Amino acid sequence: MHLVPNRRAAMTGHRVAAAATGSANRFRELTAVPDGDGYVIGSPRSPDYLAVPQIGGQVVQWLRAGHDLDRCAELAKTAAGRPVDVVRFVAALADGGLLPDAAEPTENAGPAPVRGRWIGRLLFGPAGLLVQLALGLIAVVLLVSTPELRPTFEDGFIVDAPLPAMLLLAAIGTATGLLHEVAHVVAAARFGVRSRLSISRRLFVIVYQTDLTGLWALPRRQRAVPIGAGMTSDAAILGLLLITELLLPADPHPLVPAVIRALVLLKVTALLFQFEAFMRTDGYALFALATRSRNLWAVKGAVARAVVNRATADDRRMLAVTNPREVKWAKLYLLLYLPGVVWATWYLVAFGIPSIKRIAELSAGAINADGLFSLTGWTGAAALALCFGPLGWTLWGVARNGGRTARRLLRPNAA
């Protein structure tokens, strides 16, 4: 999710004049959702949302009710105890893309129906959520009570050949990652919110991204379900996988339990990753929602630099205008970094390094068996390249970001 707080559009005289000519239908698409001590204003026409004081949200409600601008100005003056320039406020909404042009027909204005809403109600309504949470609870109980069901790094090797093993795990991981993002989309559709699922890549890895900005149009409590939908579905699928594993016949095809174990590993890994709230994961988004923080990530960075006396001018300006409550939560959020790093290091030691070692052993064995220029040797070399190429790139990125952070701390005003 992203929010554009305190956005100020340039308001020309032409736009101000145009703002005064709109009909009531022109404002029916606007949403005004209470958020902290103000409101968040949005529209299906724009991906951006505008954080405004309480009086701004009230003006939008009066406009939606059919009051003209003069009447809204009178009501706003009474509510605020001082004159409020409603015309310029409406012009700012128009300039931000939240309103149709004054000349645009508005008789049929209003958001179009959202596809998949019935699926969202089925899966993420009260009954669907209860079933998924029950399956997630079953998964936790089985993993705690039955050690042999807990995944290990060896579960990532469906076959012994290194390259096919990596490609199979990547294909299955891509499919399960898509299911995670689709859960966000479907859960948002339950509340009539459009979201956009896009496919991108990080070097060789296909990644999915879901734009949930439209959730700002919902009351705060309703946002929790779409934000947590990916984790909820992961936990439910994990429960189904573990139950299936327990119910397998005595002598199944060897690939069946191997694929199930790989899926269990991927789902546990996905859930562990999402709980790493010190990164911008679903856990982070839920933490920001629970603490009513609109710009937690940026405020956290400003607070961190201020703690070591390396705050920039932008940091100081941000902290000066940020609600003290959000600054307090940002300070608490910083404390999640240490346990988060410990958590990530444990996963690296328990799963990452052993997996890399196993790939290296299998690849070296494949190369030594028939030589580098054989098909077997070539697949071993390709597996090594696919493993250590991205790893080296990642380590280089970590080192580069660490160096950039160190330079900012030592020279806060440097470019």
Residue with tokens 């859930």: 271
201-205, 362-366, 397-401: least confident range = 201-205
Average pLDDT over residues 390-397: 73
pTM of the model: 0.78
- Are the beta carbons of 294 and 261 closer than 8 angstroms? no
- What is residue 203's predicted lDDT score, i.e. its pLDDT? 46
Most confident of 109-118, 222-231, 294-303, 363-372: 222-231
Q: How confident is the model at residue 150 (pLDDT cuts 50, 70, 90)?
A: very high
Average pLDDT over residues 194-216: 72
Q: List the chain domain ranges.
A: 4-95, 116-275
Q: Is the pLDDT of residue 105 over 90?
A: no
- Report strand pairing: 196-202 vs 31-35: unpaired
- What is residue 400's predicted lDDT score, i.e. its pLDDT? 79
Q: Is the pLDDT of residue 187 over 90?
A: yes
Q: Is the pLDDT of residue 10 over 90?
A: no
| Gyration radius of the chain over CA positions | 26
Q: Is the pLDDT of residue 52 over 90?
A: no
- What is residue 306's predicted lDDT score, i.e. its pLDDT? 86
- Report strand pairing: 4-5 vs 50-53: parallel
Nearest 10 degrees: Cα torsion 301, 306, 311, 315: 50
